[in-house]
Amino acid sequence: MAQFFSPAKMQSIRKQVTAAEAARKDEQALKEDAKFQRTIPKEQKKADIIKQRAERDAARQAVKKQREMDKTTRAAQQQVEKELRDARKTQEQKEKEGRAALRLQSRLEKTKVEESENHLPNREGRHSILQRVAKSRFRSPEMILQSLPI
């Protein structure tokens, strides 16, 4: 068999093929590295987005919880204020009823006194029947007593 290529030439071709293969492997490694370099920021960006979402959700939950607490606090405060108003109204009503009872009692006592004055026969402020008759006839009570048949 005849040799078409010299061993030096074959060795040089092998070196070129090995170098080309090494270059291709280096290029492949560079492409993979570049791909990872692009993937790392994408993954980091995804992780950042997930983290931001979690932070926003936590903030929303905190705001929601605070609103609920505020609502509960307001409701409790309104209930206390309502109870205070009701107690004050009840107290005012009792005072009003007490004053009305005192007025009624005073009025009843006054009426009772007036009635008792009207039924007493010889009170200083009221003349007896004999005195009224004498006065109406311009006579003294003694004269009227003398004129009555006994």
Q: How many independent structural domains does the chain possess?
A: 1
Distance (Å, whole) CA 39 – CA 10: 42
Q: pTM above the 0.75 mark?
A: no
Amino acid at 30: L
* 20 found inside a domain: no
Distance (Å, whole) CA 36 – CA 43: 10
Amino acid at 74: R
* 125 found inside a domain: no
* 57 found inside a domain: yes
Give the pLDDT confidence score for residue 134 in this predicted structure. Answer: 57
Contact predicate 143/130, CB 8 Å: no
* 106 found inside a domain: yes
Provide block-wise average pLDDT over 10 residues at a time, the chain (150 residues): 70 90 94 88 91 97 97 97 97 93 88 70 56 59 63
* 47 found inside a domain: yes
* 134 found inside a domain: no
* 13 found inside a domain: no
Q: What angle do CA 15, 17, 8 make, to 5 degrees?
A: 40
* 83 found inside a domain: yes
Give the pLDDT confidence score for residue 126 in this predicted structure. Answer: 58
Give the pLDDT confidence score for residue 88 in this predicted structure. Answer: 96
Range of the domain at 50: 29-120
Give the pLDDT confidence score for residue 122 in this predicted structure. Answer: 47
Contact predicate 13/5, CB 8 Å: yes
